[in-house]
Structure formats: C-alpha cells, structure tokens
Amino acid sequence: MKTVIVIDYGMSNLRSVTKALEHVAAHDWKVKVSNKADVLCHADKIVFPGQGAIGNCMTLLNQGGLADAIKQTLEDKPFLGICLGLQTLLTSSEESGGTTCFNWTSGTVRRFVEPIDELQNGERLKIPQMGWNQVQQTKFHPLWTGIPDNSWFYFVHSYYVDPIDNGVVLGTTQYCGIDFASVMARDNVFAVQFHPENSQQAGLTLLKNFLDW
C-alpha cells in the first residue's frame, strides 16, 4: 500500500484536500493526515496545503519540527504544494513584515497592489483574489494531462509568487494587471497557487495526475 501524506501544521483546512485525494485515489493508495516529521519522511508522496498568513505558517512548521522534514521531502519525494504550499517555496515573503521561506527557488512573494480602474466582469477587482480564474500552461508537464490550456481554477490569495528563474514557471494567471506565476515545478516538485480540491473536474484531474505521477 502506497501512502500520500497531507501535512497538518495546525492552520489549514485539511478535510477538503483529503476528501478530494481519497475520491481520485486508486485502491492501492492510502491518504493520511500527519504532523509528524518521521511520517513525512517515510511517505511515498507529500501534499502541502495551506491557508492563512505565511508568517504563522513558517513559525508553526519550525516549532513543530516539520520544516526540516519538508526541506528533505523537497529533495527526494513527489511533492504537491497548494496555495501557501507554493509560496513557502520561495526565498522570502513580504507578508507578516517579511518572512523567510524554504528557498527551493530564489524569489519573493509579493502582495497585489489594489487596482484603481481595472474591472473584471463589470466589477472592480478586489484583494484578495477570491474566485475562479484561468491558468495558461507555459510548459508541458505530466500533471497537465487531460487538463485543457486556460482551464479555470479556484483562487483565494492576496500575495503571488515572483520567482527569479522563469524556468520553474509552468503556468501563469492574470490579476490586477499582473501575469503572475500560478504554477511552478522542477524535478519532483509541483506547486500551485489555486486550490485544486475546490476546482471541480480540472482540480480533481490534477490531483489524480499527481498520484499517478
């Protein structure tokens, strides 16, 4: 039996991610939630969901001993980051007065600037971005299998990733006049700004592709 671990660090809605993974998992997969470093290190695959402030997130990961385990899994296990699970992969974030992150790739997590005039669907854009938006696929990846380019996914975020290396960017999305990196990947790591567990068929397909990857 293969195991995919959903990381529990104390401030994320884990139920929807877990249920979505269970829905798409084949019979030889077991989905578990854990906050134990040794469990992460022995898992076959890792899912790192997240919501809330990144400062609190990194503090809890360090206090709970999970930060070092996550750094190790980023080196050697199939890893799916979701929302904050994407943002923590950069060097630092502007949020929470400045937060040091995992530095999996160099770059900064930046806050959207409130637009003055820009409208979307007849309504003025707001921060956070909360709702459906499209992802333009910039490179092929197995996790895109069966997902058409410019598919819609569900976003909830006030900050976006700005990596220095464009080579890690596999998808972009436009909001507040910015084409930001909404998907990053390299080697064993794939991470998204949107919430696949809340993105209907496209999101479920991506989760299944991750388990099959």
Indicate which residues carry an active-site annotation: 83, 195, 197
**Backbone phi, psi, residue 79, to 5°:** -130, 130
Tokens of 167: 């080579």
Q: Return d(Cα 124, Cα 115) in angstroms, integer.
A: 8
Q: Is residue 88 within 8 Å of residue 102, measured between CB atoms?
A: yes
DSSP assignments along 138-151, one per residue: -S--GGGTT--TTE
Helix 66-76 with 54-63: angle, nearest 10 deg: 100
Contacts of 123 (CB under 8 A, 6+ apart): none
Task: Count CB-CB contacts under 10 A for residue 103.
Answer: 13
To which residue do tokens 């991610």 refer?
A: 17
* Cα four-point dihedral sign 119, 124, 127, 130: negative
Residue holding tokens 């050697």? 76
The enclosing H or E element of 39 equals: helix 37-42
